[in-house]
Structure 1
Amino acid sequence: MAAPLKRLSPFNVTALTLGLAFLYLPMVILVIYSFNASRLVTVWGGWSTRWYSEFFNDRAMLEAAWMSLRVGAVSATAATVLGTLAAIALSRGEAFRGRTLFSGMLYAPLVMPEVITGLSLLLLFVGLNAERGFWTVTIAHTTLTMCFVATVVQSRLSALDRSLEEAAMDLGCSPARAFVAVTLPLILPSIAAGWMLAFTLSLDDLVIASFTTGPGSATLPIRIYSEVRLGVKPEINAICTLIIGAIAVVIVAASLASKLSGVRGETAAPPL
């Protein structure tokens, strides 16, 4: 007989409320003040959407937003391809020489401070005499996000039953065809979740982009930071609200894709 569910105690409710308030109350205030009609961000002047109109009429902000979207899409796609291949190598090649070194180098950006990563990439691009701009930021973001994709995909690969691929090969499929026909559809939701995670991380990044960008290629976080240094404008609240909404949608979609991947993986697992 299943044990009865325990009710939340007043202490747990209080701790949960304080924790959520600590995390999300500043965002809620920012969203509310993005609809403030007053030009002073600390003085409430009634409800208005004028600052959203100001953003869509701000050419510099729109160019920075378009730059961030392009960098995010390209770097997330590249990171997904490279991270998936790395995850396959780690999951399907347990005994190859240098696996431990390769794994450590792959996951190093997870724990490496972004300042060090950004400075290292800056020195690399300077040494190569590469012009800093769209492609340098894209390469930097690919380096940053590839390890996250590899982690997500590898966790799904390790949960799948390899006998499914072996059965397909017994029926005449080559290893590559067996992987494409059997394994790839099962890990596709985790690949999609990895892409969304990589896109979100790229869209949010400020530190690494500030090291690797050049004149005329500022991303939206860099543009917002430069504007905030001169004083917070109500338009910034509107921009940040749009970013919060976009990231929330991406995170929800990634969570749903990851959950779908888990359900498929459990379905594919052999019964005990």
Structure 2
Amino acid sequence: MKNHSLALKLSAGFGFLFLYAPIVALIIYSFNESKLVTVWGGWSLKWYVELFQNEQIMNAAWVSLKIAFISATLASILGTLAGFVLSRMGKFRGKTMMAGWVTAPLVMPEVITGLSLLLLFVAMESMFGWPAGRGTTTIVIAHTTFCLAYVAVVVQSRLSSLDETLEEAAMDLGAKPVSLFFLITLPLISPAILSGWLLSFTLSLDDLVIASFVSGPGNSTLPMVIFSKVRLGVTPEINALATLMILVVSVAVIAAIFIMRRQNRFQNP
């Protein structure tokens, strides 16, 4: 039994080492004085200073954050509604088809998704004149399309495990459907919505393939800029940028965990 426990601990240790050792090395080398990313030249913050002076990267970072925030918010709203319909509306004609449409982006290759959205935008522009060209609007639409699938799955799972007697009791006490949703159901599924929002934000911020299809001149996202620079060789600036992104995501995840634990304590005193 002890050998079995030791083997599990060693396996877990090697697994975490395999996952996080490269990230730790990247963070350490972001403070490297040398221009060569593989040669240690001492501790320095010079690459962080140069990073903030790089207008191309800063503009791309602002575009990516703006797109990720808008896309995650829209995906959370639409995904919550889709998950609620699939979980609470019972059987209706076309439910299976709707479920397939909602979850299709989960299994669809990103190249196919990006190409199909590009063809859709081109056809819409020729027929209706909107969207005029490719840019921030088309990227937001594309990211919202594939992110809402993740939100819908998370919210639907939460609703399926939710105790419906709470909603039934509220209806017995005279709660209207709209009041029931906003006062009872929505607070109970808020941790799932928050999780879906964070997942959507991360997916949008990380996306390269789909954004490459639907973006236009002057609207390059951060992953697109990083990819174009990495093809010429990794620079310490990229390490500094990656470290800051890890910091932002870590703070967001920790904040989300704190909020969800606080919500669970409030619901289960």
Length-normalised TM-score, structure 1: 0.90
2:71 matched residue in structure 1? 75
Report sequence identity in percent.
56
Cα deviation code 1:9-67 (max 9, x no counterpart): 33222222221121111111111100000111111100011111111111111100000
Indicate yes or no: 2:124 matched with 1:122: no
Change (3 A) 1:228 1:126: same
Indicate yes or no: 2:102 matched with 1:100: no
Change (3 A) 1:98 1:262: farther
Indicate yes or no: 2:228 matched with 1:232: no
State whether residues 76 and 198 of structure 1, in contact with CA within 8 Å, keep that contact through their aligned partners in structure 2.
yes
| Cα distance in 2 for residues equivalent to 1:252 and 1:115 | 32
2:249 matched residue in structure 1? 247
Q: 1:22 aligns with which of 3, 18, 21?
A: 18
CA shift for structure 1 position 107: 0.7
Alignment of 1:52-91 (within 5 A): 52-91=48-87
Length-normalised TM-score, structure 2: 0.91
State whether residues 205 and 221 of structure 1, in contact with CA within 8 Å, keep that contact through their aligned partners in structure 2.
yes
Change (3 A) 1:114 1:209: same
Q: Which stretch shifts more, 93-102 or 46-55?
A: 93-102
| Cα distance in 1 for residues equivalent to 2:262 and 2:154 | 13
CA shift for structure 1 position 166: 2.2
| Cα distance in 1 for residues equivalent to 2:165 and 2:8 | 45
| Cα distance in 2 for residues equivalent to 1:183 and 1:7 | 47
Change (3 A) 1:10 1:161: closer
CA shift for structure 1 position 194: 1.2
1:220 matched residue in structure 2? 222
2:180 matched residue in structure 1? 178
Q: Which stretch shifts more, 181-190 or 213-222?
A: 181-190
CA shift for structure 1 position 249: 2.4
Q: 1:162 aligns with which of 164, 184, 190?
A: 164
- Unaligned segments of structure 1, at least 5 residues: none
2:199 matched residue in structure 1? 197
